[in-house]
Chains A and B, each alone.
With several copies, the nearest count.
Chain A
Amino acid sequence: MAKIIGGITSSHIPAVGNAISQGITQEPYWKRFFDGYGPAKEWLAEAKPDLVIVVYNDHGLNFFLDKVPTFALGCADIYENADEGWGLKPVPSFTGDVKLSWHLAESLIEQEFDICMCQEMKVDHGFVNPIRALFGDQEPWPVKAIPLAVNTVQHPVPSAARCLKLGKALGKALESYPEDTRVVILGTGGMSHQLQGERAGIIDVEFDLECMDKIATDPEWMTQFSNADIIRRAGSEGIETIMWLVMRGALKDDAKVIHKHYHAPISNTGAGVLVLDNQ
Chain B
Amino acid sequence: MNWKKQDYDDIPGTYVFDGQRAHPAYAINKLLYTFNDQACRDEFDAEPAAYCDKLGVTGDYKKAVLEQDFLGLLRMGANIYFLAKMCVPRGVSVQDAGAAFQGITTEEFQQNLLDKGNGLEAILAKRGDYWNG
Which residues of A approach B to under 8 Å, CB–CB? Answer: 32, 35-36, 38-39, 59-61, 64-65, 75, 82-87, 98-99, 101-103, 105-106, 119-120, 153-156, 178-179, 194-203, 205-206, 209, 213, 226-228, 231-232, 235-237, 257, 259-265, 268, 270
Contact = CB atoms under 8 A, between A and B. Distances in A.
Given A59-B81, A228-B7, A236-B15, A265 B89 contact: no
B88 interface: yes
B16 A231 contact: yes
B120 interface: yes
B59 interface: no
Given A120-B26, A236-B14, A61 B36 contact: yes
A179 B1 contact: yes
A247 to B, nearest CB: 19
B18 A82 contact: no
A197 B116 CA distance: 18
A237 B14 CA distance: 10
A98 B117 contact: no
4 smallest A-B Cβ distances: which pairs?
Answer: A85-B85, A198-B13, A200-B98, A102-B19
Interface stretch (B46-54, B61-69, B121-129): B121-129
Contacts of A38: 133
Q: Is the interface of B mostly helix, strand, loop or mixed?
A: helix
Interface string B68-96: 00000010000111101110110000110
User: Which of A75, A197, A261 is most buried by chain B, counting CB atoms within 10 A of its CB?
Assistant: A197
Nearest to B11: A232
Contacts of A120: 26
A264 B117 contact: yes
Nearest to B130: A260
Interface string B14-44: 1111111011001001101101111001000
5 contacts: A65-B30, A102-B19, A103-B4, A179-B1, A264-B117
B12 A198 contact: yes
Nearest to A275: B131
Contacts of A262: 120, 124, 130
B101 A198 contact: yes
Contacts of B113: 201, 203, 265, 268
Contacts of B86: 85
Contacts of B79: 60, 65, 153
B38 A87 contact: yes
B101 A196 contact: yes
Nearest to B126: A209
Contact of A261 (B17, B20, B80, B133): B133
Given A195-B94, A198-B101, A262-B124, A85 B1 contact: no
Contacts of B84: 85-86
A194 B14 contact: yes
B120 A205 contact: yes
Given A60-B33, A85-B36, A260-B131, A178 B14 contact: no
B4 to A, nearest CB: 6
Nearest to A101: B19
A85 B18 contact: no
